[in-house]
């Protein structure tokens, strides 16, 4: 069988070079870039196509040897919301096809699209280039709408239809977990034979155990603090408000804890959270916990690793996560996670071993879980050891090797279809 030499990866609505934690940049950005880097180590050259959001961006950026990010001009550079991007699909697709046309016939061996907008473009490129389309949903409208956060905006019908079209068009769909695979089959009528599970990974050289005292000193945190960390985009889906409400309950029950409690919220507004960027700070004031909450703008991956290591626990109260990279990254530093028992978080976190899973989003239940980790030192030590063990099961090297197998399988499926 011919080896895969070159891959076209499409990430239309957000660039892998963007800073995670604000705007539309998050776990998917990390996923695309880390997967691309590791595929290079497997002998594959990767071209990532993303929409240019500034006239100052160079047309092509070498992210590293073998990974090129193409900034495609499609629509105005600034001011377009994700909901307005479908109107730029034709222009974006035309420019992607034009980029490939500058090379000899058969330049790319596979197209891998990320998120439904990219899948629409990927389906056209697949048909024009005669190569298989592998698609990763990352999030799904039907799943999000079934577990909508209070005050969040439902995903439009146009997205649902678009996702259904991509599911039908893709040769192989990559699911992060077994649960996501079932959702693709049950909610989108995906053929089971075309759904394959590949767990995302974590950079174990970056997210690793660090000295907690040193990390706290570097970040200006008291050494004796109980640090309850939220990291991610500030939007209703990620539910940072659930953590703040739980903290208010916790302090009502244990007022003596206030003197050493610190609740850092690391990230920036995103999605429907952009409509009310100050809402979380207003909630903290309303709950009378502004003195313990710290709002920290998005940070580099290296600094994020410090925040994880400095924390007593990391809270992931999302209403849905296709996987939950924050949970794995935190555990890789040896920090336990308290997470909502939803989506991929039930795979990322082992309840009672690497962290605690909380059913629902009731602040009372969340306060109980937070208190268990903060107050029970023996439990915390057990969870810290379990967190490290859990994270060792995930690496981007394994993700890339498994994804490469998926690409090969997709080529076989496409050839069988042609035959």
- Residues annotated in the binding site for Mg(2+), as ranges? 308, 311, 335
Distance from the Cα of residue 193 to its chain's centroid: 25
DSSP 3-state assignment of 58?
A: coil
The Cα–Cα gap between 243 and 264 comes to 11
Residue whose pair of structure tokens reads 């995670």 in the numeric block: 20
Residues with Cβ within 8 Å of residue 237, at least 6 apart in sequence: 144, 149, 152, 271, 318, 319, 320
Tally of CA atoms within 13 A in the half-sphere of 7 that contains its CB: 33
Q: Give residues with Cβ within 8 angstroms of 238, minimum separation 6.
A: 230, 232, 317, 318
Residue positions forming the annotated binding site for 1D-myo-inositol 3-phosphate: 13, 24-29, 82, 115, 139, 159
Return the SS3 of 111: strand
CB of 296 closer than 8 Å to CB of 317 = no
Q: How far apart are CA 205 and CA 203, in angstroms?
A: 5
Query: What are the tokens at 389?
Result: 């063990």
Residue from 212, 204, 227 nearest 306 by CA: 212
Q: Provide CB contacts within 8 A for 362, sequence distance 6+.
A: none
d(CA 68, CA 61): 6
Q: Which segments are annotated as binding site for UDP-N-acetyl-alpha-D-glucosamine?
A: 19-20, 27, 233, 238, 299, 321, 329
State the residue for tokens 């697949």: 126
* Of the candidates 56, 83, 88, the residue with the CA atom closest to the CA atom of residue 71: 56
Among 329, 331, 322, 342, which residue's Cα sits nearest to residue 303?
Answer: 329
Tokens of residue 277, six digits: 């960027």
Residues making up the binding site:
13, 19-20, 24-29, 82, 115, 139, 159, 233, 238, 299, 308, 311, 321, 329, 335
Q: Can you tell me the distance from the alpha carbon of 33 to that of 274, in angstroms, rounded to the nearest whole number?
A: 25
Give the C-alpha separation, 298 to 277, whole Å.
Answer: 14
Q: Is the dihedral of CA 210, 211, 215, 221 positive or negative?
A: positive
- What's the Cα-to-Cα distance from 252 to each of 241, 255, 364, 367, 405, rounded to whole Å? 17, 6, 11, 10, 53
């Amino acid at each position: 069988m011919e080896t895969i030499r070159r891959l076209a990866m499409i990430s239309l609505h957000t660039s892998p070079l963007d800073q995670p934690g604000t705007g539309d940049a998050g776990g998917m950005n990390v996923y695309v870039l880390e997967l691309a880097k590791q595929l290079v180590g497997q002998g594959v050259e990767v071209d990532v196509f993303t929409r240019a959001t500034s006239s100052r961006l160079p047309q092509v950026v070498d992210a590293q040897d073998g990974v090129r990010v193409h900034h495609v001009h499609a629509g105005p550079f600034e001011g377009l919301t994700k909901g307005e991007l479908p109107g730029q699909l034709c222009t974006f697709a035309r420019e992607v096809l034009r980029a490939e046309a500058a090379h000899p016939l058969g330049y790319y061996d596979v197209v891998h699209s990320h998120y439904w907008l990219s899948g629409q473009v990927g389906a056209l490129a697949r048909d024009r280039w005669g190569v298989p389309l592998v698609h990763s949903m990352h999030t799904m409208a039907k799943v999000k709408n079934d577990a909508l956060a209070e005050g969040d905006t439902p995903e439009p019908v146009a997205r649902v239809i678009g996702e259904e079209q991509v599911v039908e068009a893709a040769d192989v769909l990559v699911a992060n977990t077994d649960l996501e695979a079932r959702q693709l089959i049950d909610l989108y009528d995906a053929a089971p034979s075309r759904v394959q599970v590949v767990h995302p990974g974590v950079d174990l050289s970056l997210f690793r155990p660090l000295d907690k005292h040193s990390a706290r000193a570097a970040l200006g945190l008291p050494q004796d603090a109980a640090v309850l960390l939220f990291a991610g985009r500030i939007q209703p889906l990620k539910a940072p408000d659930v953590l703040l409400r739980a903290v208010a309950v916790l302090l009502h029950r244990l007022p003596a804890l206030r003197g050493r409690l610190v609740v850092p919220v690391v990230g920036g507004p995103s999605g429907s959270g952009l409509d009310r960027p100050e809402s979380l700070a207003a909630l903290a004031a309303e709950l009378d916990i502004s003195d313990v909450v710290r709002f920290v703008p998005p940070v580099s991956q290296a600094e994020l690793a410090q925040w994880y290591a400095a924390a007593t626990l990391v809270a992931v109260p999302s209403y849905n996560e296709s996987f939950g990279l924050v949970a794995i990254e935190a555990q890789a530093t040896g920090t336990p996670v308290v997470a909502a028992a939803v989506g991929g978080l039930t795979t990322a976190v082992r309840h009672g071993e690497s962290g605690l899973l909380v059913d629902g989003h009731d602040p009372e239940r969340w306060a109980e879980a937070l208190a268990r980790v903060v107050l029970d030192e023996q439990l915390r030590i057990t969870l810290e050891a379990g967190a490290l063990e859990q994270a060792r099961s995930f690496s981007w090297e394994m993700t890339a090797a498994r994804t490469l197998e998926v690409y090969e399988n997709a080529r076989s499926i496409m050839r069988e279809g042609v035959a």
